[in-house]
Amino acid sequence: MIVCFAAAAAPFVLASAASPATPATAPKRSHELSAIEVFTVAERAQSAGHYEEAIRLYDALTQDRNADVRAEARFRKGMLLASLKRYRKAATAFRELLDETPDAAPVRLELAQVLALMGDEGGARRELRQVQATGLPEQVARAVGQFDTALRSHKRAGLRLEFALAPDTNINRATEVRTLDTVIAPLTLSRDARAQSGLGVHLSADGYLKVPIGAGISVVPRINSLATLYGKSEFDDITVTALVGLEVQRQHDRFSPSIGHGWRWYGKRSYMHTDVATLDWIHVLGQTAQLSGSVSAATTDYQLNNLQDGALYSVSVGVERALSARSGVSVALNAVRQTARDPGYATASGGVRLLGWREAGRTTLFASATLQRTEGDAALALFGKRRREWFASVRAGATLRALTVHGFAPYVRVGYERNASSVDLYDYRRFTSEFGITSAF
């Protein structure tokens, strides 16, 4: 069930469209009609089934000098597109309106509903948390509560694609030192074994299919893939994971157990196979926050070094909270345990990740920081040292929705990583960047 927000959104209809006392001049292509008259023509076209004509009229009104007229035009355009099931374009229209009027709660609710219909439940819930952070009238608050209870991922299938150019100062995450001290003799590293810079192409694709089998229960097979390709193919890094599992939805919780298999290729060679079982959990935590958790267990089969074969266990927990209609933060803790045939390759690690985001006009900004500690079980035979590492990274980026084309917008991301290790082979630093396109909402 999707709750209709028509009643809650009614107050958003603006005075400029309701009162002839404050007419605004429409663009010239509207033949100097007042904004109110153009809205009337658009309504008639919409009622007659001439939807493209109505959309063109609304588009013309979004160029008006009066901010209220622009907002009303975008709202009506979004509602029309949503009724035509053009959800991506509807989401873009609502997002453009929110860029100018971020505290327009009814519009954010409509955006949440459209995102849910597209299958982006996470995005829909985030919009709900942000609108609830602003405080709502009782009538609207009741509508939100009904929607939050009824919220499901309605889309039965989905596909997400991302493309970017990725300049990188250390594409192989390698040390910069030329010579390593070993228990045998100093080891001189070849040029390819040391840090290499390069320009890569970043590609990712995620797809899923949802098959309902009962009330609030679905079978969900999915596939995730990530590739970074370089001119020097020996550094190409490709990962593919195929999973199948259940999605169990309850009033305030969603559980997703799954099993699957993963493949990783590095260069032109098979690098690792994994068999994995996971359990993901999301819990609504009040009106403006949610709690998420994940546990997984996997077996690892390294194709190039059997001494690394073993098991991989991980657990994470995080909280996400909306601070306002335009900003939010999250914090997550994680722990990982990796076993191996050779204790020198076995490690235990734990870390924390902080993330914040803010909408500034028609740009979405984010920044994140990660800190992680890793300890090896025993000394590596060749180096006579046990791994002790601090890993730190910072990232920031922006999505430029002002340049949206067909629901996609350009983005830029930059980052810095530093892995300080007691074993020189694992000690590195790295600057990264991405210039690509992503969904605009």
- Note whether 325 and 103 are within 8 A (CB): yes
User: So what's the pLDDT on residue 121?
Assistant: 72
Q: Are strands 428-439 and 157-168 parallel, antiparallel or unpaired?
A: antiparallel
User: So what's the pLDDT on residue 438?
Assistant: 83
Q: Would you call 95 helix, strand, or coil by DSSP?
A: helix
| Residue 402 DSSP code | G
Sequence-ordered list of residues with C-beta below 8 angstroms from that of 191, at least 6 positions apart, any chain: none
Distance separating alpha carbons of residues 156 and 218, to the nearest angstrom: 10
Kindly report, as residue ranges, where domains of CATH 1.25.40.10 are found in the chain. 6-150
SS3 track for 210-236: CEEEECCEEEEEEEEEEEEEECCHHHC
- Note whether 149 and 165 are within 8 A (CB): no
Sequence-ordered list of residues with C-beta below 8 angstroms from that of 215, at least 6 positions apart, any chain: none
Residue with tokens 């009609």: 33
User: So what's the pLDDT on residue 348?
Assistant: 97
Q: Is the pTM of this model over 0.95?
A: no
Structurally, at CATH architecture level, domain 158-439 sits in Beta Barrel (2.40)
Topology of domain 6-150, per CATH? 1.25.40
With vertex at residue 265, the alpha carbon angle to CA 262 and CA 267, rounded to the nearest 5 degrees, is 170
Backbone φ and ψ for 273, nearest 5 degrees, come out as -120, 145
pLDDT along the chain (441 residues), means of 10: 38 38 41 80 90 91 88 91 89 86 81 81 75 55 48 65 92 89 84 88 90 90 94 88 93 91 93 97 84 96 94 96 86 97 96 92 90 96 92 94 80 96 94 86 50
Q: What burial letters (b/e) apply to 289-313, b meaning 16+ CB within 10 Å? A: bbbbebebebebebbeeeebbbebe
CB burial class (10 A; 0-12, 13-18, 19+) of residue 191?
Answer: exposed
User: So what's the pLDDT on residue 154?
Assistant: 55
User: So what's the pLDDT on residue 275?
Assistant: 97
Kindly report, as residue ranges, where domains of CATH 2.40.160.40 are found in the chain. 158-439
